[in-house]
Every structure is written in C-alpha cells, then in structure tokens.
A and B are shown apart, each in its own frame.
Chain A
Amino acid sequence: MLSIKNLHASVENKQILKGLNLEVKAGEVHAIMGPNGSGKSTLASVLAGRDSYEVTDGEVMLDGKDLLSLAPEDRAREGIFLAFQYPVEIPGVSNINFLKTAVNEIRAHKGLPPMEAKAFLKMVKEKQQLVDFDAKLTNRSLNEGFSGGEKKRNEIFQLAMLEPRLAILDETDSGLDIDALRIVAKGVNELRSSENAFVMITHYQRLLEYIVPDYVHVLYDGRIVRSGTKDLALELEEKGYDWLKESVDAPNAI
C-alpha cells in the first residue's frame, strides 16, 4: 500500500531524513520509534505534505500513485490521514460542520455524491460510539477549549469518520493519562481492518501494549536502523537508544 524508497527531506536546508525506506501493506500496523530529533515527526509531515518540508530525493507511492506530486488535500482524499501531535483549534467552526465538509470532499474525489444529512448523522452517531467520543464535543467548535486528551480523542474520531487507507498517528499517546490512552487505543483497534494500515510514531513502548504492532522500526539520524517485532520495543525500553546509536555510529567513527 505504502512504499517509501530512499526518502531524503530537509527543513530550512537542514537534512533530516537521509534515505528512509519503509514498506507498509494493507492490514498492518507499524510502529516507528526513535530518540528525539531522529526525524519521526518529519516523516509524518512529509507524508502529509506540509509546506515547509522539502523532499530532496527518493519516492513515496501510495497504492501505486506518486504521493509526493499531490497537494496535501489530494493526499488526504487519496486516503492519507495524519493524527496530529498538536491538533489546532479553529474557533467558530463546529466540529460537525467541519467533518461534513471533509467527508463530502473525500466522497467527491471518489465520484460519490454528498452524504445526505440523515445518513451523515447516523454515521456520526455510530462512530462516536465506536471510538467512545463524547457527543457534546461533536457540536462544539473544532478543538476550541478542548483538553489535550479531548483533542487527541477528536483525532481518532475524525479518523473513524474519514476511513482513510493509511493513518499516521504522530505521538498520539503523548500527554494522555492511562484512561485516555486506553480509550484511544481501543478506538484504533476497533478501526483496524484488512483494508487499512497504521503507522504509529511514538517515544514510548507503553502505547504498544495497547495497540500491538506487527512491526517496530527504530529511526535514527534520518534512517531506519533496526526493524523487528514488538519485542524490539521491549528491548529499547530496557536498554534505551544508546546501544543502538553506538552500533550505528561506529562504522562511521574512523
């Protein structure tokens, strides 16, 4: 589904990604871990098409389409969803009105007519239940005055509504207490299917206890330096990143 080859990207002329490769197939969940500054969030931003990130080399294909040639909104319409680390607030725009616009834009891209109000509201209700999202928040302004946890949960609710092919969760676990983490994880698990895939970016092994990944990758200095199963995450938790850094840096030391 997603194929990243030799991806190089920079921000303000600083090279962050330096030849990243990743293959994600439908039905899989991948976790990407790594120390601060290794390029995890850059990867998320590059995939979503944030303006300030420049791809200097490599390719990214989504279902055989060249993702990097598409505008951010077209990537979203093709099925890329980014659950933001810091979701923004948009005062006065109701969550539900925003969702309706988004859902219908994506439908239009697929050649489908706008959803009728009744069907849409039914879907809202179902998805709220599925990811345990407070209905009161649906009618409020988008993220305005939401707590950190509510914002993260809103990301998962949106994910449920938009039904993307590939969801990238950028540190969705950060700032969540254990109860909120459980709810978020449960939501994601409900949404997993053989049709979609997840890339979870996280610092902590904790999240992976609730959302069990098929693969764990360690990102360091702009490259994936180690891949494994969830056991790799446990190993990292135990030893920290230093032992990996040493083994990666060593060949270049001389």
Chain B
Amino acid sequence: MNTEKDILEELATEEYKYGFTTDIEMDIAPKGLSEDIIRFISKKRQEPEWLLEWRLKGYRQFITMSIPNWQNFKHPEVDFQDMSYFAAPKKKPTLNSMDEVDPDLIETFKKLGIPLDEQKVLAGVVAVDAVFDSVSVKTTFQKKLKEKGVIFGPLSEAVKSHPDLVKKYLGSVVPATDNFYAALNAAVFTDGSFVYIPPGVECPMELSTYFRINAANTGQFERTLIIADKGSYVSYLEGCTAPQRDENQMHAAVVELIALDDAEIKYSTVQNWFPGDKDGNGGIYNFVTKRGLCKGHHSKISWTQVETGSAITWKYPGVLLKGDYSVGEFYSVALTKNHQIADTGTKMIHMGKHTRSKIISKGISAGVSQNSYRGLVKITRHAEQVRNFTQCDSLLIGDRCGAHTFPYIESKNDSATLEHEATTSKIGEDQIFYLNQRGIDSEKAVGLIVNGYAKEVLNQLPMEFAVEAQKLLAISLEGSVG
C-alpha cells in the first residue's frame, strides 16, 4: 500500500501522455448479460453468497422489465447483450493509469488549471476514491478519516469489512424494483464508494469520488451508498470523465443516501462525461438513479449537480422526506449543446410532518440540444404543514435548441404550502455587445452571463469545486456562440 506521501509524489510528477493507448492489461467479462455473467462478476469480486443472491434477484427483476418510454427524448437503441459488464485492470493500477486521456480532455484539464482531482489531493482538503472502469483503485487519506471513525472506500471492500451495514442499507432507498436501470445496476453493479459517518461526527474533509470509464465497449455501473448516522455531517463530491469514443457507452449508476436523525448529507456532482462530438456521434448515456432518504427527524439531504457532459443525461436525484422536520434540496445546472439531451430534475416525496423542500433548476441550452426539467413534488396524506419552493429557469443560446419544463405536483394534504416559479430567457445580443464594448470577447461574455445565471446553484458547491464548475461551464460553451 502506498503512503500518502508516495501518492502525492506520484500525482505531482505525473504527466499527461498524448495519444490514446491503454497499456493496462484488463480482465474483461465476455459480452452479454446472463446469470452466468453475474456469477462471473460476483466471483471475480470474491463476493459473499448473499450478495450474489441479491444480484440474481436484481437480474430476475430486470428481465421482466422493459425500457421506459415516458422520457422527453427517443430512447436510443441499446443492445444489452452487446456490452461487457465487467472490466478491471489485471494489476491493481495506481492513479497513474488515469493519465491516458485523449488530447481533447487533456486540453480541457489544462484549461481548468491543474487536473482537478490532483489539485484537491495536493491541497489535502479532499479525500479521493477513484473508480477506474469497474474497480475502485485508490482511496486517499484513510488514516485521517479512520481517526474519526469515518468509513470511506470502495463498496467492494465495505461488503467484506462492514457486511452488516451494507446488508442493512443496500437497496433500501433504490430497490431493484424501482426502475429498469436500477434493476440492471442491482444485477451487475461493479464498484463505487461506501461512506459511513458515525453518530455526532462531522466529517473532517470533503469526500470525493472520481469516476472514469476507460475501456471500450464496457458499461459503468457503479453503486454508491452513503450513511450519515445520527447528528453527523458529510459533504461528498463526485466527478466524472470518460475518453472520447465513436460509440456510445452506458453509465447506469445508483446512488443511495441515508440520513438518520439530525444528520446532514450534502452531495455534489460535477458531471463531465464525454458528450459526443459536434455531430452527435458517441458520448455517454448517463442513466442514473440517485435518491436520498431523510430517515430521521430533522435530517437534511441536499443535492447539487452541474451537468455538462454525456450524450444523454437522464436522472432525477430525489429525496424521500420521511422524518418529521426533514429538509430536501435540489440545486441543478444542466448545460446542453450540439446534440446533447438532458432530461433531469428531482423528486421530493414528503411523508413526514413539517418537511420542507427547495428546488432550484437552471437549464442552459445551446446548439440543437434539448434540455428538460422534470420534477415531482408529492405530499402524502399525513404530511402536515409541508412547504415546497420550486424555481425552474431556462436559458437559450441561439434559436435551434429546446427547453422544456414538466413540473408535477401531487398533494393529498391541504395544509401544504407550494410555490412554483419558472422563467425562460435568451442570452441577449445586447448583453453580449455590452460586454464586447468593455473589451470582453463574445465567448468570455457568454461564459460570464451563463455563470451569472447559474450562480445560485454554483454557490452551493464546496468552494474549490465552484471555481472549477464555473470554468467548466465557460469551457463547455466554447464554439457555441457567433
């Protein structure tokens, strides 16, 4: 095992290589999906019997379901038999393996300054778990976390080291029966992060997972499980990248959060999967189920997402507000350009009394992209004195893109207070000219305007990541203007 110093050294000295070769030897499962494949995955991962059973149950669920069709886009043809469900480097790689990035991504990283995760690790303020294809490759700062009793690492390890916790909570918020992709994930999930914060502990640093799809013809099906015990607090961030490939790749992750009494989980995502080229070839299908359970009274779960990548983003991070006085929040910026599609929003399910939720969604569409907000606010019969505030704004760049809003509200209790605001605007030529006239070129001008528009959401991110997200938004829009 490397020491922290070694890791820092490694990170500080590593260089990006150009070109795109993967010289890591990989263990790749044969293409296709069957009970045998699932047994293969489970065996490769040396899993206990109960987990294999759990997976098989998921698989049996999966084969009874069909691809959903209620979304606001045409579901691409996906051949689930023409995909590999497990890819792992033969030798356990170090973070070095992440340097095989295509030049466009390198360019992006350069524009972002130092590669993001390295910067954070160097600064020593963030503990990182890196998931490379299907396997978690490295978790930093274990020792410091251990002192506080925080468990943070690959889910595959937690299965062995903390089976009771995993058994108790795995699938408790997103069961396999939830939806098509949740069932698929249950069957074939590979790795992901596991976090447990003990009672009363405020996690001493930001926890971060960096996901990367590297191998071709593989899907990534990670599964993340975060449990904040009574009175604890954790802030968690996930970042994602993938190399540029002509074919589409599947990413069907599941994230489950559980907050017990008085606990708070803040979950932030900066999603920058490969979005496909400007003609809409390639890119990641990002079909993700994320849900939090405010199980305890006065608990709080807050989702913040900045979505700039993926050919299709399809996800609704939601909160089940079960504990009385619990709070759910959703802050989202979704930027689409070229042929990208985003159909994203949230579900706030109010079950407890005096529960509150807040939804701030900012869509930005450019090119010929389609950007939809889809949200559900549901108040069950016994949920007294619920409050919700929803604001969905759409910003259009150019006149060939689309913005759509699908807000659903179901209230079975008259005592609820619900507010909804929505706006649609275009970036004005007048605004761009005004900034031009002050010496700022059009691309920078749009970057400024878009960041101003998204500010309310970006302000929710941990500070280091807010800066990064701002740059990402500006970079993502390059070439979209003029």
Within 8 A of B (CB), among A167-215: none
Partner of A76, one of B428, B430, B437, B449: B437
Q: Which residue of A lies closest to B436 (CB)?
A: A72
Q: How far is the CB of B212 from chain A (nearest CB, A)?
A: 32
Q: Indicate whether A106 reaches chain B with its CB closer than 8 angstroms.
A: yes
Q: Indicate whether B429 reaches chain A with its CB closer than 8 angstroms.
A: yes
Partner of B448, one of A73, A80, A81, A90: A90
Q: Indicate whether A59 reaches chain B with its CB closer than 8 angstroms.
A: no
Q: How far is the CB of B474 from chain A (nearest CB, A)?
A: 11
Name the A residues within 8 Å of B442 (CB-CB).
73
Q: With a 10 A CB-CB cut-off, give which of A51, A102, A141 has the most chain B CB atoms.
A: A102
Q: How many chain A residues have a CB neighbour from B under 8 Å?
A: 31
Within 8 A of B (CB), among A46-82: 48-51, 71-73, 75-77, 80-82
Cα distance A207–B449 when bound, in Å?
34
Name the B residues within 8 Å of A93 (CB-CB).
448-449, 451-452
Q: Indicate whether A114 reaches chain B with its CB closer than 8 angstroms.
A: no
Known interface pairs A92-B453, A93-B449, A98-B448; A158-B438 also in contact (CB < 8 Å): yes
Cα distance A109–B438 when bound, in Å?
12
Produce 1/0 per residue, A86-110, CB < 8 A to B: 0110111100011001100110010
Cα distance A43–B439 when bound, in Å?
19
Q: Check B436 against A76 for contact (C-beta < 8 Å).
A: yes
Q: Indicate whether B145 reaches chain A with its CB closer than 8 angstroms.
A: no
Q: With a 10 A CB-CB cut-off, give which of A51, A81, A82, A92 has the most chain B CB atoms.
A: A92
Q: Indicate whether A20 reaches chain B with its CB closer than 8 angstroms.
A: no
Q: How far is the CB of A227 from chain B (nearest CB, A)?
A: 27
Q: Indicate whether B435 reaches chain A with its CB closer than 8 angstroms.
A: yes
Name the A residues within 8 Å of B430 (CB-CB).
88
Q: Check A162 against B452 for contact (C-beta < 8 Å).
A: no
Question: What is the total of A-B residue contacts with beta carbons within 8 Å?
Answer: 75
Known interface pairs A73-B440, A102-B440, A109-B439; A141-B434 also in contact (CB < 8 Å): no
Q: Check A88 against B434 for contact (C-beta < 8 Å).
A: yes
Q: Check B434 against A102 for contact (C-beta < 8 Å).
A: no
Q: Check A92 against B435 for contact (C-beta < 8 Å).
A: no
Q: With a 10 A CB-CB cut-off, give which of B452, B453, B456 has the most chain A CB atoms.
A: B452
Known interface pairs A51-B433, A76-B438, A82-B437; A88-B453 also in contact (CB < 8 Å): no
Cα distance A80–B439 when bound, in Å?
9
Q: Check B451 against A71 for contact (C-beta < 8 Å).
A: no
Q: Indicate whether B228 reaches chain A with its CB closer than 8 angstroms.
A: no
Q: Indicate whether B441 reaches chain A with its CB closer than 8 angstroms.
A: yes
Q: Indicate whether A146 reaches chain B with its CB closer than 8 angstroms.
A: no
Q: Check B439 against A91 for contact (C-beta < 8 Å).
A: no
Q: Indicate whether A120 reaches chain B with its CB closer than 8 angstroms.
A: no
Q: Check A77 against B449 for contact (C-beta < 8 Å).
A: no
Partner of A90, one of B444, B449, B456: B449
Q: With a 10 A CB-CB cut-off, give which of B431, B439, B451, B454 has the most chain A CB atoms.
A: B439
Q: Check B439 against A73 for contact (C-beta < 8 Å).
A: yes
Cα distance A30–B170 when bound, in Å?
76
Q: How far is the CB of B108 from chain A (nearest CB, A)?
A: 21
Q: Indicate whether B455 reaches chain A with its CB closer than 8 angstroms.
A: yes
Q: Check B451 against A72 for contact (C-beta < 8 Å).
A: no
Produce 1/0 per residue, B450-465, CB < 8 A to A: 0111111000000000
Q: Indicate whether A84 reaches chain B with its CB closer than 8 angstroms.
A: yes
Q: Check B431 against A101 for contact (C-beta < 8 Å).
A: no
Cα distance A76–B442 when bound, in Å?
13
Q: Check A102 against B438 for contact (C-beta < 8 Å).
A: yes
Cα distance A91–B448 when bound, in Å?
10
Q: Check A88 against B431 for contact (C-beta < 8 Å).
A: yes
Name the B residues within 8 Å of A141 (CB-CB).
452
Q: Which residue of B lies closest to A81 (CB)?
A: B437
Q: Check A92 against B429 for contact (C-beta < 8 Å).
A: no
Partner of B456, one of A73, A82, A92: A92
Produce 1/0 per residue, A15-54, CB < 8 A to B: 0000000000000000000000000000000001111000
Cα distance A105–B439 when bound, in Å?
6
Name the B residues within 8 Å of A71 (CB-CB).
436, 441
Name the A residues within 8 Å of B454 (CB-CB).
92
Q: Check A51 against B429 for contact (C-beta < 8 Å).
A: yes
Cα distance A48–B451 when bound, in Å?
25
Cα distance A118–B431 when bound, in Å?
29
Q: Check A162 against B439 for contact (C-beta < 8 Å).
A: yes
Name the A residues within 8 Å of B434 (CB-CB).
84, 87-88, 90
Q: Check B436 against A73 for contact (C-beta < 8 Å).
A: yes
Name the A residues within 8 Å of B441 (CB-CB).
71, 73, 105
Cα distance A105–B442 when bound, in Å?
12
Cα distance A49–B437 when bound, in Å?
8
Closest 3 CB pairs of A and B: A92-B452, A93-B452, A72-B436
A–B Cβ pairs within 8 angstroms, 19 of them: A49-B437, A50-B433, A51-B433, A71-B441, A72-B433, A72-B436, A73-B440, A73-B441, A76-B436, A88-B428, A88-B434, A90-B434, A91-B452, A92-B451, A102-B440, A105-B438, A105-B440, A141-B452, A158-B438
Interface, chain B (partner A; CB < 8 A): 428-431, 433-442, 444, 448-449, 451-456
Interface, chain A (partner B; CB < 8 A): 48-51, 71-73, 75-77, 80-82, 84, 87-88, 90-93, 97-98, 101-102, 105-106, 109, 141-142, 158, 162
